Structure formats: C-alpha cells, structure tokens
Amino acid sequence: MVLSQPSHPHSRRRYQYLDKFLNRPGPSTDPDFVPGAPTISNLETSKVLVIGAGGLGCEILKNLAMSGFRDIHVIDMDTIDVSNLNRQFLFRKDDVGKSKAQVAAASVMKRCKTVKITHFNGKIQDKDEDFYMQFKIIICGLDSIEARRWINATLVSMVDMENPESLKPLVDGGTEGFKGQARVILPTLTSCIECQLDMHAPRAAVPLCTLATIPRQPEHCIEWAKIIAWEEHRKDIVLDTDDPEHITWLYEKSLSRAKDFDIPGVTYQLTQGVVKNIIPAIASTNAIIAAACCNEAFKIATSCNPYLTNYMMYTGDDSIYTYTFEHEQKPDCPVCGNLAKTITVNPNHTLQQFIESLGERPEAQLKKPTLRTESTSLYFQSPPSLEAQTRPNLLKKLRDLISDGEEIGVSDPAFTIDFKFKLVFQT
C-alpha cells in the first residue's frame, strides 16, 4: 500500500508534536523546504527499509511508526530466542521460535493502525539491487560488521551519477554495551562504512599457550573448553553454538578448569556469550541510538533540518557523553575510492602468514581471501582444483612472490567487491 495523500486530519492527532516541525519553517530548514501538506505527504509515502529486527531494530521500527513514516519494510534472518525477551520489547514468550521480522511488524502495526510494515525473513545477501532500489532510505540495526560491509558495498555499486534516485542514504546504528554510534552515509559522496572500518578493529586473539597452560580469566577457561577440550573429546561432532546440550558441556568443562586454577566467574550465561561472541546489550543504549537513527531518517525525508555530517558516537558507562564529527572519505577506500590501499608487510613472512594477517588487520578484516597479482594467481580459496594448484605458494615468502610496491587484488566470498592493496616491504 503506497499512500499518495497526507493522512486524514483526525489521524494526524497522534503526530501533533511532529506537525510543529512540518507545518512551519525553522532557522535551519533547507531552502527547498515546503511546510505543510507536501512535506507530510512526502514523509508518509517515503518507503523505508529497516535491516535487523533485534534489540536496535525493534526500537527503530517503533520510532519510525511514531515519527509519521507509513510505508516501512523490515528484513531479518533470525528467529526469536527466549534470551531476546528482556530487551526486544516487541516480542512475547509465545513468540519464541517465530520470525523476528514477522512478529515485530505485526506488533507495531497492531499499535499503529495507519502504518503498513512489510516483513522479509531471510538474508540481505539474497536480495538483488532491484529490491534495494525501491527504497528512499535504508536504516541498519545490525550486530554484524560483515553484513554492514556488504550492504554498504551494494549501495555504493548501485549509484548511477545520471540517476539521482539510485543514491540511497544509509543510516547506520550500532551498540556495544554502554557504547554506540549513529552515522549517515551518502554512497559515493561521503565517507562510507569501509572508510571507517579501522574504527571497528577485531578483538585481539588470546595466545593458545595462555589458554593451554596459564589461564587468568574466566573467558580463557571457556575458550580452552571450546578450542582444546572439544577437539580432544568431541572432535567428531561439529560444535553447534545454538545447541543447549553443547553449551552445557562447554560450561561444565570451563567450570571444572576454572576451579583447578582458582578462577571465579564462569557462568552458563558467560559461556554462551563467549562461545557465540555475544556482547551484552543494554536496552537504554539501544533506545538512544535508535532515536538518533530515526531522527536522521526523519530529517532526510522532510528536509526540516540538516542531517548529521556524518558520525555521532555515544558512551554511557561513566556518564552521558556524545561527540559528533565528520569522518573524511578515503581516496584508497576499496569501496568508494579509486586508489589501492597501502599495506606495510614483512617480505620474509610467508603468504600464509599474510593471509592470516588480513583477518586481523583493522583495515582489512578478510577471513577467506583469494589473492592475485596482475600477472599471476597467488592463492585461490576455491574451487578445490585451483586451491590445490596454488597451495604451494602458501609456504613461499612474499619477496619471492611479489615485488616491493606491487598491487594485488583480493576477493572474499563475504563481499560483492574486490579489494586492491599495495604491498610495501618493511625496510
């Protein structure tokens, strides 16, 4: 259902507070801002996609409905778990096992009768460019860096300079405990998620020797159970982090090891969090970041005020603190730039070591890279025949495979683009 006219005056009573912004210009409104019915109609007919219907997504859906948006779409691949119920307020106990997107959409529409929310249960990677082209604004409430990078690259690749409608503003929100951020990205025009990737550095890995011999924290005991104990006792069984029996086994092993080293703090909940790499979610942080994201979407749709340029960070652990700044676009960004990103490497490292480093480098974070130069293939992850053919290169030193300053192309199955790196040898 696409609405072409502003809603009936009686149905606008819910939005009287918004009309104070929409029915009159302000000191910061865009010169093209037209107060009244045209702007209200533009808001109500703006088709918005929300990616993610979890803790952040529930807040975003509620806020959009209460902000006057009436044509909302939501996509999420997950189903509701009982652990979601303490903060994802659109869900109830009877909803456990059901699609998050479906239940969230129905819950909001039940409370806001004038809003239509279309839900999709699946991966964002399964949708093509035509799907994303239909939306005016896309809002991310994701907990995955990989998914953010994918949608970012997709939206950048969609831009056609001769078609202004192909540029889809991306409003991205993220939370981690008491910290969070909101950002507005105009693909190809402003700094994109890939430009800012080094701000989301992967967590440092714990050395295996620490796990095996001298654990000092409860997390070390849990990692030991996951990596070492499971391999020793249950190597024929694939670890399923969603299987309660598997988590219980890891918890019991972790607890036993923690007692041997007099380390307190191992709990079932912590075990589940470490094994699944879950960062505890704070409902108040989700609410603040979702409000910031929806505020930006409202400003983009109505031009009633300037939108964020372009990054807002929030922290609430010691006190309430926010800071806004403009993150600059990088010329060597592999997504929106046109130059190869320079990486300094040790020429005596093997290709295997370099590949492993690509997963750890903040500016790369590539887990299954395939590498090639302009003249030769260095290593292919697949198909098996090419992997076997290029496998001997893994043990060769970089200086024997490439020259100082040479550019290589890198692809990863998790992303739709190829990356270009210029490898500079350490002196």
- Residues marked active site are found at 209
Q: Indicate the Cα dihedral angle 121, 123, 124, 129, nearest 10°.
A: -90
Kindly state the helix (H) or strand (E) to which residue 359 belongs, with its residue range: helix 351-360
Query: Read out DSSP for 116-129?
Result: EEEEEES-GGGS-H
Q: CA–CA separation, 252 vs 258, rounded Å?
A: 10
Rg (CA), the chain: 24
Contact 91, 103 (CB under 8 A): yes
Query: Read out DSSP for 380-398?
Result: --SSHHHHHHHGGGGGSBH
Phi-psi region of 426 (alpha: psi -120 to 50; beta: other; left: phi over 0): beta
Kindly state the helix (H) or strand (E) to which residue 28 belongs, with its residue range: none
Q: CA–CA separation, 291 vs 50, rounded Å?
A: 14
Q: CA–CA separation, 306 vs 280, rounded Å?
A: 33
